């Protein structure tokens, strides 16, 4: 850690949809390139980076008879989709000269390492970017819950949730022009005001383990770097 960084170890959560770019599906090479540049900046500063990426751009668990796919089956398909995204990020980060590991909660040894907490920590200590694939490995969970769980396991200082908006608002800023952004808010207030930050499982895990969350706009160039330097951007959620 250099003196100018605020966090030693971060867990960056990116949604699968963010990777898709404007068309909403698949992987947009421009987004991949942009995110890799942003991530490299903080790795170069000595920050240890773990990443959880969603799968919504490829497949999101579906339920109901109309989908034709069983809920659990769909969730496993969603988890596999996250591995595809993890591999894409890995490849792109490596092009930028970073050392990386994909660790999957579902064993697929030809493709990536299985998730073993101690090994993940070791990789982070060696400044390798660790990308956690296949979610928690369990259906009925989300990649937000994965982000919270893995962050706690590897003792990350913070979960940085990169989104398309620059924080948590009093109301949906797309629908309500009077909505204002919180710079800081407590876990209790988020819960009481029913604000949407993460799903409740993920949120409760963070709250119970006193793990702060920062919601920020990952598409704003330099925002990740500014955050790790301790700038007051996005919304910080703490106890």
Closest of 181, 192, 187 to residue 216, by C-alpha = 181
Judged by CB, which is closer to ligand UDP: 1, or 111? Answer: 111
Q: Are 206 and 187 in contact (CB under 8 A)?
A: yes
Q: What distance in Å separates the CA atoms of residue 36 and residue 122, rounded to the nearest whole number?
A: 22
Judged by CB, which is closer to ligand UDP: 17, or 157? Answer: 17
188 is annotated as contributing to ligand binding: no
Site string for ligand UDP, 67-86 (x = CB under 6 A): -------xx--xx-xx----
Q: Which three-class secondary structure state does DSSP give residue 203?
A: helix
Task: Please tell me whether residue 61 binds ligand UDP under the rule CB under 6 A.
Answer: yes
126 is annotated as contributing to ligand binding: no
- Min dist CB 73 to ligand UDP, Å, is 10
Task: Please tell me whether residue 104 binds ligand UDP under the rule CB under 6 A.
Answer: no
Beta strand 129-133 pairing with 213-217: unpaired
67 is annotated as contributing to ligand binding: no
Q: What distance in Å separates the CA atoms of residue 12 and residue 216, rounded to the nearest whole number?
A: 11
Q: What distance in Å separates the CA atoms of residue 148 and residue 209, rounded to the nearest whole number?
A: 9
- Min dist CB 14 to ligand UDP, Å, is 7
Measured CA angle at 23 (ends 106, 194), to 5 deg:
70
Annotation: binding site for ATP: 13-16, 56, 60, 163, 169, 172
Per CB under 6 A, residues contacting ligand UDP are 15-17, 54-56, 60-61, 74-75, 78-79, 81-82, 135-136, 138-139, 141-144, 146
């Amino acid at each position: 850690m250099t003196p100018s960084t605020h966090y030693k170890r971060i867990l960056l959560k990116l949604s699968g949809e963010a990777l898709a770019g404007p068309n909403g599906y698949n992987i947009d090479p421009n987004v991949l390139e942009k995110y890799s540049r942003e991530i490299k900046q903080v790795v170069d500063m000595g920050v240890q980076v773990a990443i959880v990426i969603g799968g919504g751009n490829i497949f999101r668990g579906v339920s109901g008879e109309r989908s034709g796919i069983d809920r659990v089956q769909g969730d496993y398909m969603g988890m596999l989709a996250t591995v595809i995204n993890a591999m894409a990020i890995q490849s792109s980060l490596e092009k930028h000269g970073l050392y990386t590991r994909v660790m999957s909660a579902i064993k697929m040894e030809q493709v990536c390492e299985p998730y073993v907490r101690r090994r993940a920590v070791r990789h982070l200590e060696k400044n390798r970017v660790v990308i956690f694939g296949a979610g928690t490995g369990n259906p009925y969970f989300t990649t937000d819950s994965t982000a919270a769980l893995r962050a706690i396991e590897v003792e990350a200082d913070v979960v940085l949730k990169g989104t398309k908006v620059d924080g948590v608002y009093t109301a949906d800023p797309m629908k309500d022009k009077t909505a204002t952004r919180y710079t800081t808010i407590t876990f209790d207030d988020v819960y009481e005001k029913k604000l949407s930050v993460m799903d409740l499982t993920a949120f409760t895990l963070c709250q119970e383990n006193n793990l702060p969350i920062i919601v920020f706009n990952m598409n704003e160039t330099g925002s990740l770097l500014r955050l790790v330097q301790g700038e007051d951007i996005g919304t910080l959620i703490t106890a």
